[in-house]
């Protein structure tokens, strides 16, 4: 009888040990999952805030540019800036590996800048 009880107690102890190990593993997996979920929520929230901030900053800069353009001399300043960027981009088109074919007379800058409504 004593041996039988000892074997039974040992069996119950081993069973409880397995249950405890299983529950511990389950709790660990749940904690890891919840931690990963919270991490993703935090990252998404940070990205959303960044997008919102950039959107507001972009809107503000567009308003400032629009106000500057609508002011005296604003249109001429924009045309000048576009013309300068156009000419600068033309100089960058040709590299050693590229061949560029352009229509029009490149020597006639007045004609090339006509589309920008700029006079030289």
Task: Locate the domains of the chain by residue range.
Answer: 1-70, 74-120
Whether residue 115 is predicted with pLDDT greater than 80 in this model: the reply is no
Q: Assess contact for 82 and 116: CB atoms under 8 A.
A: yes
User: Over the stretch 11-66, which tens digit does the pLDDT of each residue have?
Assistant: 999 999 999 999 999 999 999 999 999 999 999 999 999 999 999 999 999 999 99
34-38, 70-74, 116-120: range with highest mean pLDDT:
34-38
Q: Assess contact for 75 and 69: CB atoms under 8 A.
A: yes
Quickly count: other Cβ atoms within 10 Å of residue 104's Cβ: 9
Q: What is the pLDDT of residue 120?
A: 56
Q: What is the pLDDT of residue 39?
A: 98
Question: Who wins on pLDDT, 11 or 80?
Answer: 11
DSSP letter (8 states) at residue 102: -
- Answer whether 0.75 is exceeded by the pTM: no
Mean pLDDT of the chain: 86
Q: What is the pLDDT of residue 58?
A: 97
Whether residue 119 is predicted with pLDDT greater than 90 in this model: the reply is no
Whether residue 104 is predicted with pLDDT greater than 80 in this model: the reply is no
In the chain, what is the greatest distance between 2 CA atoms, to the nearest angstrom?
Answer: 114
């Amino acid at each position: 009888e004593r041996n039988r009880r000892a074997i039974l107690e040992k069996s119950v102890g081993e069973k409880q040990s397995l249950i405890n190990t299983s529950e511990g593993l389950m709790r660990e997996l749940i904690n890891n999952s919840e931690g990963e979920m919270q991490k993703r929520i935090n990252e998404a929230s940070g990205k959303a805030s960044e997008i919102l901030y950039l959107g507001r900053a972009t809107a503000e800069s567009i308003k400032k540019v629009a106000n500057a353009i609508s002011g005296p001399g604003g249109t001429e300043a924009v045309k000048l800036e576009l013309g300068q960027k156009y000419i600068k981009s033309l100089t960058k088109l040709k590299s050693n590996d590229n061949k560029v074919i352009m229509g029009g007379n490149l020597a006639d800058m007045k004609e090339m800048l006509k589309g920008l409504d700029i006079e030289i």
